[in-house]
């Protein structure tokens, strides 16, 4: 499936819920970021995720901090590795595709991500990344 097809199926509500996992969320964010400015892409992504959860009758699934944090990590990695298509991006950034344990453990305490506040609004990271982290290079 192309990025355009993924966006169209997601926007039209045609993606089956049982086949839309964490790595698919990452790919969708990547696809939006290849087609829109970061703020427009974020708006499309967030509104789409809320609609998707609503269609499932699970609007409480949406988590703003997790959504924004992954989105901007994806955006940063895309800027560090311009011109990569999805397959190459996914191969070079496998840590973004892991759900649990995931990369947000480097940035957030578990209690923070489990909080109601973090679910409702974006909360800034509350953990430090080691200075020698490979993701800070480039």
Does the structure show a pLDDT above 70 at 133?
Answer: no
Query: Considering the entire predicted model, what is its pTM?
Result: 0.89
**How large is the average pLDDT for residues 90-99?**
96
Q: Taking the CB of residue 42, how many other CB atoms lie within 10 A of it?
A: 19
Residue 55 belongs to what domain range? Answer: 3-136
The total number of structural domains that make up the chain: 1
Q: Which residues of 61-100 are buried (b: 16+ CB within 10 A; e: fewer)?
A: ebbbbbbbbbbebbbebbeeeeebebeebbeebeebbeee
Does the structure show a pLDDT above 90 at 126?
Answer: yes
Looking at per-residue pLDDT, the higher value among 122 and 129 belongs to 122
Confidence band, pLDDT 50/70/90 cuts, at residue 134: low
Residue 126 DSSP one-character state: -
Mean pLDDT of the chain: 91
pLDDT tens for 13-71 read: 888 878 889 999 999 999 999 999 999 999 999 999 999 988 888 888 899 999 999 99
Does the structure show a pLDDT above 50 at 137?
Answer: no
Residue appearing with tokens 């964490």: 22
Residue among 22, 30, 133 nearest 81 (CA): 30
């Amino acid at each position: 499936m192309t990025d355009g097809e993924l966006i169209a199926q997601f926007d039209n509500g045609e993606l089956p819920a049982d086949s839309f996992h964490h790595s698919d969320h990452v790919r969708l964010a990547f696809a939006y970021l290849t087609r829109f400015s970061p703020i427009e892409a974020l708006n499309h992504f967030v509104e789409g995720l809320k609609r998707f959860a609503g269609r499932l009758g699970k609007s409480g699934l949406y988590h703003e901090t997790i959504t924004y944090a992954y989105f901007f990590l994806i955006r940063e990695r895309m800027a560090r590795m311009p011109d990569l298509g999805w397959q190459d991006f996914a191969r070079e950034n496998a840590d973004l595709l892991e759900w649990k344990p995931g990369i947000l453990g480097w940035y957030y305490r578990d209690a923070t991500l489990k909080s109601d506040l973090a679910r409702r609004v974006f909360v800034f990271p509350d953990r430090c990344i080691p200075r020698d982290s490979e993701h800070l290079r480039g």
